[in-house]
Amino acid sequence: MITNVLDWLDATADRLPDKIAFGGEKSTLSFARLRELARRGGTYLARRIGMNRPVAVFMEKTPECLAAFFAAVSAGCFYVPLDTKMPAERIRLIFDTLHPAFVFCDEKNAEAARAVAGDAGCALFDEACQTEADGSVLDAVRAAHVDTDLLYVLFTSGSTGVPKGVTISHRAMVDYADWLHEGLGIDENCTLGNQAPFVFDNSTLDIYSTLRNGCTTWIIPKKCFSFHKTMVQFLREHAIDTIFFVPSALIAMANSGILEKDPPLGLKNVFFCGEVMPNRQLNMWRRAVPAAKYCNMYGPTEITDVCAYYIVDRPFGDDDPLPIGQACANTRILILDDENRPVGPGQTGELCVLGTCLSLGYYNNPAQTEKAFVQNPLNSRFHERMYRTGDLARYNERGEIMFLGRKDFQIKHQGCYRIELGEIETALLAAPGVGNGCCLFDEAKDEIVCVYVGSDEPADLAGQLKVKLPEYMMPNRYVHLDRLPMTINDKIDRVTLKKEHIG
């Protein structure tokens, strides 16, 4: 029985000691070396702090950063990744909630880490790894571990402006990685290309598939996402056959023309999650790399990355919406109306999730936890936690789940029309002259604002949308940009767009 993710690391390091686990631009770590660093760093920590304490990791995105994560876990603690480019004020807000027991850093970020560490201990991870591993200390920690202990906390944006720390247990990650292997076929023969920052939950697919299965993950350099010829060369050079990208990254590659000129034919698995994937660009991928398996995945951070998936198995028109499909194994999804009743076919409701995948709540934030993690309203017989995602969904005629957007993306326009902004965005992204974009709502002016990049002028784009949308859903204003602001997770930064283009 697997109760700790390090059980995988131990088994894989014994079986494949010299195989590369994680590779970056400047270094690689074999499974044996990864375990050694985790044990050395873990011994260093265990002698200084107790179990189940938060360890912040303030390091560049490298294989050594991952070793620092597992050092925290080896000490019976949980890790908290920090973005090294994060403003000091945001780190302060996170630390006010987290109160870390220790901070690991690298040489490049040592000064900044010490400045924010406060009362927490702080050390260079390289120096901590000079400690000899102490088997008796580490064995005692492992013996005291249970699978509901925290593995990590990821901080996401909070509606109040204060970041929320999403807690994920070992049990939830074991459940997820087992499904990735059994449901999507990720095994030791796969070579993964990592796009997601380690502060973003999508990265856990790469990290824990590697630990569980003994595959290899290469950290793709940031420059590859701007220079797509370099991306294809990197994928080819490292024989990468599996990628899990946010749609914006796939859209940019499709729009660049590289798929027609030099398609990455070695890809066997193209997975995506985090935003809506438009079928226009997905069809470009499917034509260019027809042998690959394409999978649309859905899930908020609070459910251990992914709770629903759809393996693309039929043709779609460029302006068709893409399903998110069905619940992952060992996960239950309910779509409930405003009266907490299951919706009927074609009806819209809130997507709610139950199962082992659920977060244990928000760290040091019982009020927000109580609001989002609730008793299943369909069960009055025993305690059963349910997570309210705040996302709207419905079932299509095939019984597949269709994601419709955030509840707060549903607007009331012209006093009477209930509109899903996501439906307008589907039509927008299908326009041939649009590279990417989104729709916002200016509530004060009762205006739908379309923000986009591409070759179409606003008048031309409006003409195309009139063919697809009823008059009441037509954008009232068009903002044509040279580039869209993106978050660190490579999603469209809607907060910045609202500040800049809505009064």
Dihedral angle over CA of 234, 190, 275, 265, nearest 10: 50
Please report whether residue 182 resides in a domain: no
Please report whether residue 190 resides in a domain: no
Q: Are 66 and 40 in contact (CB under 8 A)?
A: no
The CATH number that applies at residue 402 is 3.40.50.12780
Distance CA 400, CA 326 (A): 6
| 151 in the same domain as 296 | no
The CATH number that applies at residue 144 is 3.40.50.980
Query: Among 391, 408, 425, where does a domain finish?
Result: 408
DSSP 336-355: E-TTS-B--TT--EEEEEEE
Paired tokens of 397: 């005629």
| 361 in the same domain as 480 | no
pLDDT of residue 416: 63
Please report whether residue 211 resides in a domain: no
Distance CA 85, CA 61 (A): 11
Look up the domain containing 432 and give its range.
414-501
Q: Are 64 and 130 in contact (CB under 8 A)?
A: no
Q: Are 214 and 191 in contact (CB under 8 A)?
A: no
Beta strands in 195-329 (DSSP E): 216-219, 242-245, 269-272, 293-298, 308-311, 326-327
Please report whether residue 177 resides in a domain: no
| 421 in the same domain as 398 | no
Query: Bridge partners of 308?
Result: 298, 327
Q: Distances from the Cα of 468 to the Cαs of 262, 436, 472, 496, in angstroms?
A: 33, 18, 12, 28
**Which 3 state secondary structure label does DSSP give 306?**
coil
Which uninterrupted H or E stretch holds 96?
Answer: helix 88-98
Please report whether residue 80 resides in a domain: yes
* Centroid of chain to Cα 463: 35
Phi, psi of 299 (to 5 degrees): 165, 135
Give this prediction's pTM.
0.90
| 437 in the same domain as 394 | no
| 236 in the same domain as 260 | yes
Please report whether residue 43 resides in a domain: yes
Query: Among 168, 183, 199, where does a domain finish?
Result: 168
Distance CA 244, CA 205 (A): 8
Distance CA 266, CA 403 (A): 30
Q: Give me the residues of the chain with pLDDT under 70, please.
A: 158-161, 415-417, 503
Please report whether residue 99 resides in a domain: yes
| 154 in the same domain as 36 | yes
| 459 in the same domain as 381 | no
CB neighbour burial string for 399-438, b if at least 16 within 10 angstroms, e if fewer: eebbbbbebebbbebeeeeebbbbbbbbbbbbbeebbbbb
Paired tokens of 33: 């070396």
pLDDT of residue 158: 58
Task: Kindly give, in sequence order, each residue whose CB lies less than 8 Å from that of residue 234, ignoring residues fewer than 6 positions away.
Answer: 193, 218, 220, 221, 224, 240
Query: Bridge partners of 418?
Result: 412
- Distance separating the N- and C-terminal Cα atoms of the chain: 56
Query: Among 150, 168, 186, where does a domain finish?
Result: 168
pLDDT of residue 370: 96
| 236 in the same domain as 161 | no
Q: Distances from the Cα of 8 to the Cαs of 210, 211, 362, in angstroms?
A: 9, 6, 27
Beta strands in 361-446 (DSSP E): 361-362, 373-375, 385-395, 401-406, 410-413, 417-420, 434-442
pLDDT of residue 88: 85
| 395 in the same domain as 462 | no
pLDDT of residue 503: 66
| 255 in the same domain as 133 | no
Count up the domains in the chain and report the number: 3
| 149 in the same domain as 46 | yes
| 479 in the same domain as 332 | no
Task: Kindly give, in sequence order, each residue whose CB lies less than 8 Å from that of residue 64, ignoring residues fewer than 6 positions away.
Answer: 27, 29, 37, 106, 125, 126
Please report whether residue 191 resides in a domain: no
Distance CA 52, CA 76 (A): 6
Q: State pLDDT tens for residues 352-384.
A: 999 999 999 999 999 999 999 999 999 999 999
Paired tokens of 18: 């010299």
pLDDT of residue 415: 67
Q: Are 449 and 441 in contact (CB under 8 A)?
A: yes
Residues, the chain: 503
Radius of gyration of the chain (CA): 23
Distance CA 30, CA 12 (A): 10
pLDDT of residue 160: 53
